[in-house]
Chains A and B, each alone.
Chain A
Amino acid sequence: MKIGLMITCINDALYPDAAISVVKVLERLGHAVYFPEGQSCCGQMHLNSGYRVEGIELAKRSIDVFESFDYIVSPSASCVGTIREVYHNAAVATGDHSFEESASQFAPKVFEFSEFLIDVLKVEDVGASFPHKVAYHPTCHSLRVTKAGDRPRRLLEAVRNLKLVEMEKEDSCCGFGGVFALKNSDTSIAMGSDKFASVKKSGAEVLCSLDNSCLTHIGSIADRMKSGLKVMHLAEILAQTGDEK
């Protein structure tokens, strides 16, 4: 089994810790992951904001770069969701049959991190320990596109010393939405501050999710409020063994 790591542009540039954690967890489970250096971005940003011509080129590049792998794992439900749905829609809308074909062959090989652990590696307990109160935010794309279901919770519940706390309206959108956060910044902030309020009310010390983009949004409000709330990608929590400083 040759596993390719699609780390996403945002993790590569801004959140190397989440990306490193993916490598560490998979290593701990006995799997080496390979990083094709030709990767950059799956094309989501361009595709979703209407720059379809560019988005399709980036999509094709991603497919090319990962062509030789049996499994591709990515710590982003939203990028995986883009590959599964948006590639197809863009191909159909532009009548690009060869892209439609390559996208449909590519998509089944791509797994979001929690799916990969549960469905492919069949593990729930990855040997992690994390003595904190954690709230889990199901991001919209993990909820409705990749349909992660209870996988992330099962992984978190198996973490030693971790206390999972419930959050009101947990499935409501954090208001990030890519270009939405800039083009409709006021509405985005209204959504984000409501989300932040429910995280805060849950009593969590750490907010966890499957996407660093959503965590950026909630985390940036939390930071601006100097709330002390920490945001961590699922991989970062699963990488903790309790031996850290």
Chain B
Amino acid sequence: MTSRTFDDPRPFQKQVIAALNDSQLRANLGHATSTIRNKRAKVVAELDDWEALRDHGAYIKDLAQSQLPELIRMVETNVTKAGGHVHYAKDGAEANAIAISLTKSYGAKSVVKIKSMATQEIELNKAFEEAGLEAYETDLAELIVQLGDDLPSHILVPAIHKNRAQIREIFIENMGKSGVPAPEGLTDSPKELAAAARSHLRARFLESKVAVSGGNFLVAETGSIVIVESEGNGRMCLTLPETLISVVGIDKIVPDWDSLDVFLQLLPRSSTGERMNPYTSVFTGVTPGDGPKNFHLILLDNGRSDALKDPVGREVLRCIRCSACLNVCPVYERAGGHSYGSTYPGPIGAVLVPQIRRGALGKLEKSLPYASSLCGACYEVCPVKIDIPKLLVELRSQNVDSARNDGDVSGEKLLMEGVYTAFNNPRLFVAFLDLARKGASLVGKRRINIAPPPLSAWTKARSLPIPNGVSFRDWMKEYHPEQIVKATKKKNSALSAKSAVNGLRQIAKFGLHLERDIAKQSRKFVATNHSNENQSVAPLSDRRTDGEAIDSFIAPIEAIVGSNFTKPTEPTTDYRRSGSLSHEETIELFIDRIIDYKATITRCSEGDLPTAIEELLTKNGTSSLVAAQDLNPSWLSRETLKIVTFDNSISNDRLDEIDSVVTSTAVAVATSGTIILDGSQGQGRRAISLIVDHHIAVVFEDQIVEVLPEATKRIDRYAPQTWISGPSATSDIELERVEGVHGPRKLDVVVVKRG
């Protein structure tokens, strides 16, 4: 198993050529991005408070930035209180060293991984490989990328550039090299491919000692980590191994649980275009008898505090990695992810990467802000209202300013300054127009097909219109002289013979110097971003103790936040915090949503519950059933009682052989069709509703609320939770949804009327 990393330092415009010429890639991307784009638009339109949610999403993230030092301390207190350990990593090398040292200390040679942008950013897999360890990806798309010795090209769907036929080949060729091989006669149907991944990874999940994850949100109030996913591989990693290591960027910290009400509505709709992703896991430290015994949180800075320093650019740290901006971006649609040269592609990558690598801007990083036509589609869909076009322009300005400070002279600079001089001076502007027209009249055409650089970049496929005939102001002079307002003296005084001559000289110089200066510039911008690669890292034992670590980790952030940091203002419109439907309408909506997820619904009275469960078991052909130790036995019929095992730390292998599981539910959300399990009575530990392939969830009508903010008030926030919205699923193969990957492939929901 190899771990390729992004190491091409060439600018975007060079890297993009391969993608533009790849017809298969263009077709794959066009299809995939338009599919998610349409799905997103549909589910976003369902919420009448979407704009308020976006405003609050932006506000909460800005607020978190302004309180970051306190929130980090709160995280440490709460995670430690819950039996976890917090480590601090200034950069990727430190984070990798900590993760490697922890893995070794638990005697593991291999870890299973949940898809995580942070660990890709720090190139954890490669660091593990160099340390003689194996980091195995379990998300279907990441697995495809890893098995294919490829690079991810999308934040959400990293294998978006591969189609089903290509994926089949990768599976057949490579699965056997690192575990269970692809089944004989594997076709390219997404359902079969997903099933192949299930069997390939099953044993690994059941055997692995250590898992590595990222985190979508880190709630300071309780120290809880939230991880959203679809396939159930995340739940496997978070539940089964004895040790869990989570690498989380400091930008993922949110103040409180109210934040989750907002983000868990914004993220799934923006990301996968679903009302809610199939699985959301929430956990706090360790929970005796449920999940990992050891939990380590590695808080990662890696350039984030540098980005925080920029009062304009820091907006980028709001990003929740949904990838909605990629899916609407006309540049990404043609360029694909690899052209952006890093883990973070698309519009967000074009602004994020130059900011978290502020100290080491090479050719690639400097080229990224120009990889956009500023069409604004990204800003329009961003769930946290990052004004990406504004940030792109800001970064371009920073490029120009820094070149100016360094005294660099380029053809572009000469041209822009020359044009400025002409534009800023009415008489010179007129002279400029006249000159251009006279030049054009020599050509005798209205359009030309060949032009010198830099206009040759235009004319390689486009004709260039040239000024011809009269200018508009000439026409006005002739036909409407009385409607011309003379320029005031003030403006004319700006004109001096010297500046006019300078302007024209600049333009003339530009043509002569362009090529030479560009070449010089290119040599100058030696990529420095990869110079840190060989930096050695002190072993853990030589490092500061944790207590000192937090202080030195927070110090630079405190310095930024403490000075000149604007506090955000709270949005004036609120999102919906309570429902507006009647009780019966709420139940109907819940049922509609569940059916939409391809789960089944049974409605019955409390008295009929045992029969209803028995019928579902019969229909499934179940011969063995597991239930939490404290599940109300009166829910089970006499027949069912014969096959049930009440959980008493049943081993994972044993659970894997059981056909069905029945659980109660803590609360259910109608708008998104979500049932939430928090381990309260009748739900048991997370493993039983995960490993078993068929899940019957019992929901009482009075447990169904309309909107998410009503639900989060009802759950045990410190308990490990699983939020379930339909059976496990993946859309990683050509965006075609397949139900059933690692989690239960079948979900039956029983809605019960009390009494």
A contacts, CB < 8 Å to B: 4, 7, 9, 11-14, 16, 19-20, 23, 32-41, 45-52, 54, 57-58, 61, 64-65, 85-86, 89, 92-93, 140-141, 143-145, 172-173, 175-194, 216-217, 219-221, 223-224
A74 to B397, CA, bound (A): 26
Question: Would you call B465 and A185 a contact (CB within 8 A)?
Answer: no
A47 to B392, CA, bound (A): 11
Contact of B469 among A16, A178, A188 (CB under 8 A): A16
**Known contacts A11-B472, A64-B491, A185-B460: does B397 contact A40 (CB below 8 Å)?**
no
Excluding A39-B426, A144-B375, A182-B455, 6 further A-B contacts by CB distance (< 8 Å) are A12-B471, A38-B488, A45-B416, A58-B424, A144-B376, A181-B457
Q: List 5 A-B contacts (CB under 8 A).
A: A16-B470, A175-B330, A182-B457, A220-B465, A224-B449
A10 → B minimal CB distance (Å):
10
A120 → B minimal CB distance (Å):
18
User: Is the C-beta of B420 less than 8 angstroms from some C-beta in chain A?
Assistant: yes
**Known contacts A58-B423, A182-B457, A184-B12: does B472 contact A20 (CB below 8 Å)?**
yes
Question: Would you call B484 and A190 a contact (CB within 8 A)?
Answer: no
**Known contacts A12-B472, A34-B485, A186-B20: does B312 contact A93 (CB below 8 Å)?**
yes
Q: Which single residue of chain B is at the shortest CB-CB distance from A189? A: B461
A189 to B463, CA, bound (A): 12
Question: Would you call A216 and B331 a contact (CB within 8 A)?
Answer: no
Question: Would you call B475 and A89 a contact (CB within 8 A)?
Answer: no
User: Is the C-beta of B656 less than 8 angstroms from some C-beta in chain A?
Assistant: no
Q: Find chain A residues with CB under 8 A from B312 CB.
A: 89, 92-93
Question: Would you call A183 and B13 a contact (CB within 8 A)?
Answer: yes
Contact of B13 among A14, A50, A186 (CB under 8 A): A186
B contacts, CB < 8 Å to A: 12-13, 16-17, 20, 312, 330-331, 334-335, 369-377, 379-380, 387, 390, 393-401, 416-417, 419-420, 422-426, 429, 433, 436, 447, 449, 454-455, 457-458, 460-467, 469-476, 480, 483-488, 490-491
Question: Would you call A46 and B420 a contact (CB within 8 A)?
Answer: yes
Q: Find chain A residues with CB under 8 A from B487 CB.
A: 36-38, 65
Q: Find chain B residues with CB under 8 A from A141 CB.
A: 376
Question: Would you call A172 and B483 a contact (CB within 8 A)?
Answer: no
Q: Which single residue of chain A is at the shortest CB-CB distance from B432? A: A13
Contact of A89 among B373, B375, B393, B491 (CB under 8 A): B393
Question: Would you call A144 and B379 a contact (CB within 8 A)?
Answer: yes
Main secondary structure of the interface of B (DSSP, over half): helix
Question: Would you call B374 and A177 a contact (CB within 8 A)?
Answer: yes
A145 to B433, CA, bound (A): 29
**Known contacts A16-B475, A57-B420, A189-B462: does B16 contact A184 (CB below 8 Å)?**
yes
B624 → A minimal CB distance (Å):
53
**Known contacts A19-B472, A57-B424: does B393 contact A86 (CB below 8 Å)?**
yes
A197 → B minimal CB distance (Å):
12
Q: Find chain B residues with CB under 8 A from A46 CB.
A: 416, 419-420
Q: Find chain A residues with CB under 8 A from B417 CB.
A: 51, 54
B94 → A minimal CB distance (Å):
33
Q: Which single residue of chain B is at the shortest CB-CB distance from A175? A: B373
**Known contacts A12-B472, A14-B465: does B397 contact A37 (CB below 8 Å)?**
no
Question: Would you call A48 and B424 a contact (CB within 8 A)?
Answer: no
Q: Which single residue of chain A is at the shortest CB-CB distance from B313? A: A93
Question: Would you call B473 and A12 a contact (CB within 8 A)?
Answer: yes
A33 to B475, CA, bound (A): 14
Question: Would you call A54 and B457 a contact (CB within 8 A)?
Answer: no
Question: Would you call A54 and B373 a contact (CB within 8 A)?
Answer: no
**Known contacts A23-B480, A35-B485, A189-B460: does B373 contact A180 (CB below 8 Å)?**
yes
A193 to B461, CA, bound (A): 9
Question: Would you call A182 and B396 a contact (CB within 8 A)?
Answer: no
A26 to B17, CA, bound (A): 47
A195 to B116, CA, bound (A): 36
A58 to B379, CA, bound (A): 26
Question: Would you call B483 and A33 a contact (CB within 8 A)?
Answer: yes
Question: Would you call B371 and A140 a contact (CB within 8 A)?
Answer: no
Most chain A beta-carbon neighbours within 10 Å: one of B449, B454, B476: B476
Contact of A223 among B372, B394, B447 (CB under 8 A): B447
B541 → A minimal CB distance (Å):
46
Question: Would you call B426 and A184 a contact (CB within 8 A)?
Answer: no
Question: Would you call A220 and B462 a contact (CB within 8 A)?
Answer: yes
Q: Which single residue of chain B is at the shortest CB-CB distance from A217? A: B462
Q: Which single residue of chain B is at the shortest CB-CB distance from A216? A: B465
Question: Would you call A65 and B491 a contact (CB within 8 A)?
Answer: yes
Question: Would you call A54 and B330 a contact (CB within 8 A)?
Answer: no
A133 to B378, CA, bound (A): 32
Most chain B beta-carbon neighbours within 10 Å: one of A34, A40, A145, A219: A40
Q: Which single residue of chain A is at the shortest CB-CB distance from B378? A: A144
**Known contacts A23-B480, A40-B423, A57-B420: does B473 contact A50 (CB below 8 Å)?**
no
Q: Find chain A residues with CB under 8 A from B372 CB.
A: 177, 180
Contact of B16 among A13, A144, A176, A186 (CB under 8 A): A186
Contact of A183 among B370, B420, B462, B474 (CB under 8 A): B370
Question: Would you call A220 and B447 a contact (CB within 8 A)?
Answer: yes
Question: Would you call A187 and B331 a contact (CB within 8 A)?
Answer: yes
Contact of A61 among B387, B455, B473, B491 (CB under 8 A): B491
Question: Would you call A224 and B463 a contact (CB within 8 A)?
Answer: yes
B524 → A minimal CB distance (Å):
17
Question: Would you call B371 and A37 a contact (CB within 8 A)?
Answer: no
A97 to B530, CA, bound (A): 40
Q: Find chain B residues with CB under 8 A from A93 CB.
A: 312, 394, 397
A61 to B494, CA, bound (A): 11
Contact of A192 among B462, B463, B472 (CB under 8 A): B462
A179 to B369, CA, bound (A): 11
Question: Would you call A35 and B330 a contact (CB within 8 A)?
Answer: no
Question: Would you call B374 and A140 a contact (CB within 8 A)?
Answer: yes
Contact of B373 among A49, A188, A223 (CB under 8 A): A188
Q: Find chain B residues with CB under 8 A from A177 CB.
A: 372-375
Q: Find chain B residues with CB under 8 A from A190 CB.
A: 20, 334
A19 to B395, CA, bound (A): 34
A172 → B minimal CB distance (Å):
5
Question: Would you call B393 and A61 a contact (CB within 8 A)?
Answer: no
Question: Would you call A36 and B13 a contact (CB within 8 A)?
Answer: no
